[in-house]
């Protein structure tokens, strides 16, 4: 594999990690846990892995001889910076326990386990990928592990390779699957333990014991750099409003973090919009008001940050999508018979009055996306809706009306952007490189302690790395029941932006100033070398939450 100068230098970087993991490690059992909700139901579903104790690791004094062990690892779901370092930490951890231990990587996600596709991860392979972005060491995939036949197929290859522990690196859905797999193997006394690691750039896999999901730090810094560049261009040309959509379908953590880093003129927070029961017109009017405020002062430029999942948080829009899904699933054959040029008119007449009015108000491109671009289950693919273009077009219409009424004297021209894949495979920041390596090393110690159904946990990460606390959290602690595909299923509860929390309230105190003034911050690129104050700082969100 060819390497850039940065990769060559980064390969030399030795990630920092908790002091408790560096020598002899002692396990400390903490309090028993219970699920965040639906406790009776979750306990019934997970009788073998429910109510386990929290775990922390401390420096020990008693040397233990560990037997060699074969371990499997899976990268599951979307990519996030630092995944390779989790694998590096896991590899180094099991080799420290016993030099004869072996690590096998299942290829292209959970499908590799079911389809028996794997490679042994040797030192030569692992060393090629230390401190690099991406998941290309073994690839990733989105196959769900939820059926007994998949678990049994997995057991076949795990037995064949004499693998006694499996580490699944993924987000909330992937770790839900890890929990279900751990319960199944425990129930059947297969002697195969399952450990999870918290990954997702969206930042919605966190709780009191999982401070942040890995990749969030790097992705937000990458997006903030590019937004800062756009804002500098914006402040130079002074003639464009930039509507910037950011990753984050289920929560607005990325948009909020980027806002705290770059000080945009406006940042929408989906959770606040839902809380206020705002309509699409309310949102458009709010943006137009900021544009008019600045335009009337001669500042015909600005930036608006938009979470990817905004549309689903607007109550009226959510109702429209729900009715569209139900109607089109029940009338699919008839709908396909309608001429393409008449489909929007046809749909408009079939909807309830309120949804019909909303649907008719949408730009034609968005209306078509809501009816033509559907997933295999027949549902609207919300992530494909160009929300940034929708809002830019509707703001332009609103401002035109205000101009005719004499309420707006400025000029409006918009540019639209979507930053998504750009942040998923970036070389990890020092924070993510250190955090991920520590997670992998922690997972190796959970394996050594013969634990299953746990997620690796590293906390107190705003302190110097040697003071971080490593341990494990039972995954069942994070579970609740949610309605999926018409039935209630156990899933890890997503962490949304806390409207009472410090990050949002810090933003709240400043956003009026940012909307009126040009108070842009230009963060610049991630720094990997230099003063700790420049290289090692965690996100604003984490600093505020831990302050």
Helix H, strand E, coil C: the string for 379-441 is CECHHHCCHHHHHHHHHHHHHHHHHHCCCCCCCCCEEEEEECHHHCCCCCCHHHHHHHHHHHH
Same domain as 437, residue 320: no
- Quick check: 369 pLDDT over 90? no
Task: Write down the catalytic residue from 172, 202, 204, 434.
Answer: 202
19-20-21-26 Cα dihedral, nearest 10 degrees: 160
- On the question of pLDDT at 486 being above 70, the answer is no
Q: Which of 272, 282, 357 is nearest to 323 (CA)?
A: 357
Together in a domain, 406 and 444: no
Together in a domain, 98 and 211: yes
Q: Give me the phi and psi of 471, to 5 degrees please.
A: -175, -155
Choose the final residue of a domain: 385, 410, 439.
385
DSSP state string for 275-293: HTT--HHHHHHHHHHHHHH
Does residue 10 sit within a domain?
no
Domain holding 68: CATH number? 3.40.50.450
Rounded to the nearest 10 degrees, the angle between the axes of helix 430-448 and helix 83-97 is 40
Its domain, for residue 330, covers 309-385
Sign of CA dihedral 324, 330, 331, 333: positive
Compute the distance between CA of residue 444 and CA of residue 167 in angstroms, rounded to an integer: 9
Tokens of 444: 């190796």
* Catalytic status, residue 202: yes
Average pLDDT, the chain: 94
Do 26 and 63 lie in one domain? The reply is: yes
Residue 449 sits in the same domain as residue 526? no
- Report which of 523, 480, 347 is spatially closest to residue 40, judged by C-alpha positions: 480
Q: With a cut of 90, say whether residue 331 has pLDDT above it.
A: no
pLDDT at 379: 62
CA distance 447 to 451: 6
Same domain, yes or no, for 366 and 335?
yes
List helix spans (H) across 134-279. Answer: 148-160, 172-187, 216-237, 253-262, 270-275
Residues 400 and 268 in one domain: yes
Question: For the chain, what is the domain count?
Answer: 3
Within 10 A of 423 (CB to CB), how many other CB atoms are there?
26
Encoding tokens for residue 464? 């110097």
**pLDDT per residue as tens digits for the range 374-411:** 655 556 676 678 899 999 999 999 999 999 999 999 99
Find the CATH number of the domain harbouring 228: 3.40.50.460
Cα angle for residues 480, 478, 27 (degrees, 5° grid): 150
Asked whether the predicted pLDDT for residue 373 surpasses 90, the reply is no
pLDDT at position 378, please? Answer: 56
Residue 111 has pLDDT above 70, yes or no: yes
User: For the domain that residue 360 is a member of, what is the CATH number?
Assistant: 1.10.10.480
Are residues 59 and 201 located together in one domain of the fold? Answer: yes
CA 448, chain centre distance (Å): 29
Q: Given a cut of 90, is residue 96 above it in pLDDT?
A: yes
Cβ-count burial of 160 within 10 angstroms (0-12 exposed, 13-18 middle, 19+ buried)?
Answer: exposed
Maximal C-alpha separation, the chain: 81
Nearest to 492 by CA among 484, 500, 483, 481: 481
Residue 91 contacts residue 84 (beta carbons within 8 Å): no
Q: Are residues 52 and 147 in the same domain?
A: yes
Cβ–Cβ < 8 Å for 317, 311: yes
Q: Where are the alpha helices (DSSP H) in 338-378?
A: 343-350, 353-360, 364-372
Q: Are 400 and 350 members of one domain?
A: no
Q: How far is CA 114 from the centre of its chain?
A: 25
Q: Give the other-Cβ count within 10 Å of 413's Cβ.
A: 12
Average pLDDT over residues 169-184: 96
Which of 242-251, 336-345, 352-361, 442-451 bottoms out in mean pLDDT, i.e. has the lowest?
A: 336-345
Question: Is the residue at 66 inside a domain?
Answer: yes
User: What percentage of the chain exceeds 70 in pLDDT?
Assistant: 97
Return the structure tokens found at 251.
Answer: 């929560």
Q: Which two three-digit tokens encode residue 242?
A: 């930039």
- pLDDT of 330: 82
Q: 171 CB contacts (<8 Å, ≥6 apart)?
A: 76, 77, 78, 198, 199, 200, 202, 204, 205, 213
377 and 397 together in one domain: no
| Beta pairing partners, 165 | 71, 193
Residue 200 has pLDDT above 80, yes or no: yes
What local confidence, expressed as pLDDT, does residue 483 receive?
79
pLDDT of 180 higher than 90 = yes
Residue 144 in any domain: the answer is yes
Structural domain ending residue among the three candidates 460, 484, 508? 484
CA distance 143 to 141: 6
Cα 327 from Cα 321, distance rounded (Å)? 10
487 by Cβ neighbours in 10 Å (0-12 / 13-18 / 19+) ranks as exposed
* CA dist., res. 401 & res. 405, Å (int): 6
Q: Is residue 156 part of a domain?
A: yes
Contact 89, 436 (CB under 8 A): yes
pLDDT at 491: 94
- pLDDT at residue 545, rounded to an integer: 97
Pairing relationship of beta strands 70-75 and 163-170 according to DSSP bridges: parallel
Please choose, from the candidates 184, 216, 178, the residue with its C-alpha nearest in 3D space to the C-alpha of residue 197. 178
Residue 8 lies in a domain: no
- On whether both 72 and 134 belong to a single domain, the answer is yes
Share of the chain above pLDDT 90, in %: 82
Q: What is the pLDDT of residue 238?
A: 97
Average pLDDT for 495-518? 97
CB atoms within 10 A of CB 158: 24
Cβ(361)–Cβ(398) below 8 Å: no
Is the residue at 290 inside a domain?
no
- Residue 343 has what pLDDT? 84
Last residue of a domain, one of 443, 462, 484: 484
Q: Would 6 be classed as within a structural domain?
A: no
In degrees rounded to 5, what are phi and psi of residue 100? -90, -5
Residue 279 resides in a domain: no
């Amino acid at each position: 594999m060819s390497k850039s100068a940065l990769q060559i230098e980064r390969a030399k970087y030795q990630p920092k990690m908790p002091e408790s993991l560096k020598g002899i490690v002692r396990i400390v059992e903490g309090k028993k846990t219970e699920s965040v909700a639906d406790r009776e139901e979750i306990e019934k579903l997970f009788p073998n892995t429910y109510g386990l104790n929290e775990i922390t690791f401390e420096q020990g004094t008693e040397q233990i001889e560990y037997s060699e062990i074969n371990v499997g690892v899976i990268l599951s779901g979307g990519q996030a910076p630092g995944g390779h370092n989790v694998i590096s930490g896991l590899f180094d951890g099991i080799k420290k326990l016993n030099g004869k231990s072996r690590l096998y990587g299942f290829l292209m996600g959970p499908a590799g386990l079911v389809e028996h596709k794997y490679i042994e991860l040797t030192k030569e392979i692992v060393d090629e990928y230390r401190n690099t972005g991406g998941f290309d060491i073994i690839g990733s995939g989105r196959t769900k592990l939820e059926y007994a036949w998949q678990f049994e197929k997995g057991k076949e290859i795990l037995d064949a390779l004499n693998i006694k522990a499996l580490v699944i690196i993924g987000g909330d859905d992937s770790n839900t699957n890890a929990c279900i797999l751990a319960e199944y193997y425990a129930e059947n006394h297969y002697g195969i333990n399952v450990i999870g690691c918290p990954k997702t750039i969206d930042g919605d896999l966190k709780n009191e014991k999982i401070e942040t999901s890995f990749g969030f730090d790097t992705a937000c810094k990458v997006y903030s750099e590019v937004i800062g560049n756009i804002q500098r261009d914006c402040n130079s040309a002074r003639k464009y409003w930039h509507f910037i959509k950011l990753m984050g379908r289920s929560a607005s953590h990325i948009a909020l973090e980027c806002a705290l880093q770059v000080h945009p003129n406006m940042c929408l927070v989906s959770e606040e919009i839902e809380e206020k029961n705002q309509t699409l017109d309310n949102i458009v009017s709010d943006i137009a008001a900021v544009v008019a405020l600045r335009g009337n002062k001669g500042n015909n430029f600005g930036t608006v940050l938009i979470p990817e999942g905004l549309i689903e948080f607007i109550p009226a829009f959510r109702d429209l999508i729900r009715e569209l899904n139900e109607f089109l699933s029940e009338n699919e054959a008839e709908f396909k018979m309608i001429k393409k040029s008449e489909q929007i008119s046809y749909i408009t007449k079939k909807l309830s009055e309120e949804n019909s009015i909303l649907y008719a108000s949408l730009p034609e491109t968005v209306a078509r996306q809501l009816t033509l671009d559907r997933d295999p289950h027949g549902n609207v693919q919300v992530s494909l809706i160009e929300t940034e273009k929708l809002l830019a077009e509707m703001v332009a219409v609103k401002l035109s009306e205000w101009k005719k009424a004499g309420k707006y004297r400025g000029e409006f021209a918009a540019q639209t952007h979507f930053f998504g894949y750009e942040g998923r495979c970036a070389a990890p920041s020092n924070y993510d490189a250190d955090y991920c390596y520590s997670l992998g090393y922690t997972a190796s110690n959970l394996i050594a302690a013969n634990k299953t159904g746990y997620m690796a946990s590293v906390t107190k990460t705003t302190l110097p790395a040697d003071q971080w606390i490593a341990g494990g959290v039972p995954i069942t602690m994070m579970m609740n029941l949610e309605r999926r595909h018409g039935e209630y299923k156990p899933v890890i509860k997503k962490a949304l932006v806390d409207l009472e929390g410090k990050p949002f309230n810090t933003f709240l105190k400043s956003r009026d100033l940012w909307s009126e003034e040009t108070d842009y911050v230009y963060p610049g690129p991630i720094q990997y070398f230099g003063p700790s104050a420049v290289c090692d700082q965690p996100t604003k969100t984490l600093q505020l939450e831990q302050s």
